[in-house]
Structure 1
Amino acid sequence: MPSPDPQPAFVLIRPQMGENIGAAARAMWNFGLDRMRIVDPRDGWPNQKAVVMASGAGRLLDEAQLFDDTAGAIGDCDFVYATTARPRDLTKPVFTPEAAMKDARARIAAGGKVAVMFGPERSGMENDDIARANAIISVPVNPEFASLNLAQCVLLTGYEWRREAVPAVDMTVAAVAAWAEQIEVEKLGAHFEERLDEAGFFFPEHKAANMKLNLRNLWSRMPLTRADVQMLHGILRQMVRWKDQG
């Protein structure tokens, strides 16, 4: 059964290769989308090559709706986007994938039923298909090489849909160990300062205070885990042992 989450239907118009349908299913499921509709696939349906390529997203293929034409695939929708990178002679609103999925989410939240159409791999969507859409999604690609693979386009659109629900954080740090507490960093700094003092590092004497301050500041800038602190203590102890043995 499709997931209960409100979402757009992704409509593949006359896809040519089973592998691309499977890759599109995988891309959709990566971002929690499972409403796939397929219009007149060139190599027939079902397609074993699509199943192999879906790799874990086979349920989408099992539940995909098959249609003979574009009109039937989008007949129950009240707003439809067509993805195309090529300029057209049809006057329609043009969205980036990000803006389109933001718009789609608002429409679905208001009770609307939305679809996104993706054209064939080789030639892209025909004007007859685009004419049925209410708006265009245009990916800002290299104009000298504007053709996107079907699954790539599905992936980009799916990512933007998901990003609206789960806002992307610009940067996080994945720590596999607990962060060191301030007291642990303080003791590490004291250990280094003690050993460096014994080694005569803080020279000349009138610069020693500032050198120690800079060293403390260095430790405070480092996001250290407890494992990091233990390792640095161990390195210093081993270096001292090695010196004493020499």
Structure 2
Amino acid sequence: MPSDKAQPAIVLVRPQMGENIGAAARAMWNFGLDRMRIVAPRDGWPNSRAVAMSSGAGRLLDEAQLYDDLPGALGDCTYVFATTARPREMTKPVYSPERAMQLAAEKLAAGEKVAVLFGPERAGLENDDIARANAIITVPVNPDYASLNLGQCVLLVAYEWMRQTGDVVHLSDAPGPKGEWATGLEIEKLAEHYEQRLDEAGFFFPPEKAEGMQQNLRNLWSRMRLTRADVQMLHGIMRQMVRWKERG
């Protein structure tokens, strides 16, 4: 059975290839979505190629709802997004996948039922399909090659859904391996250590370029985002190199 968690319905409108339906199911499953609706698939339903491509998401396909037309698939929905890469002469709000899924989460939390439409592989949604949507989702892509595979498009939207509703830890917020990033003072002492030893070794040459070389070295430390363990290791490397030189 589908999960009880509120989520948008993913509606595939007249999909042409079973493999792409399976890829869409796999993308949904990756990011916590399990409510697929299929409208008038070209090759009928069920489709063995969809199951083969779903890679473990076959249960999602087993529970997918089949409709003869789009109005039937949207009968219980209160807000509908339509995905398209082509500009349309329609007075509808246009959102990025990120903003669209933020809005979807807000509407679902308020008790609404949300759907996202994806068109057939060859040409995407028709204007009549989009006319039934409240808003458009457009992905910023290369204008010279704006066509996205059905599975890829579902993946982008599903990923943004997970970002809005899941416990995603962004890299900039992640702790270090031991939860201890190096402090500014520790980085400063590391830089001073290396500058001192490299100066003694005659690295900063010629003299007129020394200041710029030191700045480049400081920039290197700041770009690396070091942990305290990293700093200790780098100090140790330099100390060992100096001892090795002195022994020689």
- Residue 16 of structure 1 contacts residue 43 of structure 1 at CA under 8 Å; is this kept in 2? yes
Structure 1 residues 103, 221: closer, same or farther in 2, change over 3 A?
Answer: closer
- Counterpart AA for 1:21: I
- Counterpart AA for 1:74: L
Q: 1:116 aligns to what SS in structure 2?
A: strand
Structure 1 residues 191, 159: closer, same or farther in 2, change over 3 A?
Answer: closer
Q: 1:171 aligns to what SS in structure 2?
A: helix
Tell me what 2:176 maps to. 175
TM-score by length of structure 2 reads: 0.74
- Residue 186 of structure 2 contacts residue 231 of structure 2 at CA under 8 Å; is this kept in 1? yes
**Counterparts in 2 of 1:134-173, with a 5 A limit?**
134-166=134-166, 169=170, 171-173=172-174
CA distance in 2, matches of 1:85, 1:190: 53
Tell me what 1:73 maps to. 73
CA distance in 2, matches of 1:159, 1:22: 17
Task: State the Cα distance separating 1:48 from its structure 2 match.
Answer: 2.9
- Residue 80 of structure 1 contacts residue 115 of structure 1 at CA under 8 Å; is this kept in 2? yes
CA distance in 2, matches of 1:95, 1:76: 23
Task: State the Cα distance separating 1:236 from its structure 2 match.
Answer: 3.2
| Structure 1: 5+ residue stretches without partners | 202-214
| Structure 2: 5+ residue stretches without partners | 204-216
CA distance in 2, matches of 1:90, 1:150: 23
Task: State the Cα distance separating 1:104 from its structure 2 match.
Answer: 2.2
Task: State the Cα distance separating 1:46 from its structure 2 match.
Answer: 2.6
- Residue 182 of structure 2 contacts residue 231 of structure 2 at CA under 8 Å; is this kept in 1? no
- Residue 107 of structure 2 contacts residue 114 of structure 2 at CA under 8 Å; is this kept in 1? yes
CA distance in 1, matches of 2:125, 2:222: 56
Tell me what 2:230 maps to. 228
RMSD across aligned C-alpha pairs, in angstroms?
A: 3.7
What is the number of equivalent residue pairs in this alignment? Answer: 234
Of the structure 1 ranges 138-147 and 103-112, higher mean CA displacement relative to structure 2 is found in 138-147
- Counterpart AA for 2:177: V
Task: State the Cα distance separating 1:7 from its structure 2 match.
Answer: 1.0
Tell me what 1:243 maps to. 245
Of the structure 1 ranges 10-19 and 100-109, higher mean CA displacement relative to structure 2 is found in 100-109
- Aligned-residue sequence identity (percent) comes to 71
Task: State the Cα distance separating 1:74 from its structure 2 match.
Answer: 1.3
Per-residue Cα deviation, 1:54-73 (whole angstroms, up to 9, x for no partner): 22433322221122221221
TM-score by length of structure 1 reads: 0.74
Tell me what 1:117 maps to. 117
- Residue 179 of structure 1 contacts residue 224 of structure 1 at CA under 8 Å; is this kept in 2? no
Larger radius of gyration, structure 1 or 2?
Answer: 1
Tell me what 1:8 maps to. 8
- Residue 82 of structure 2 contacts residue 133 of structure 2 at CA under 8 Å; is this kept in 1? yes
Q: 1:124 aligns to what SS in structure 2?
A: coil
Q: 2:29 aligns to what SS in structure 1?
A: helix
CA distance in 2, matches of 1:221, 1:150: 38
Structure 1 residues 124, 187: closer, same or farther in 2, change over 3 A?
Answer: closer
CA distance in 1, matches of 2:136, 2:221: 53
Task: State the Cα distance separating 1:49 from its structure 2 match.
Answer: 2.6
Task: State the Cα distance separating 1:235 from its structure 2 match.
Answer: 2.1
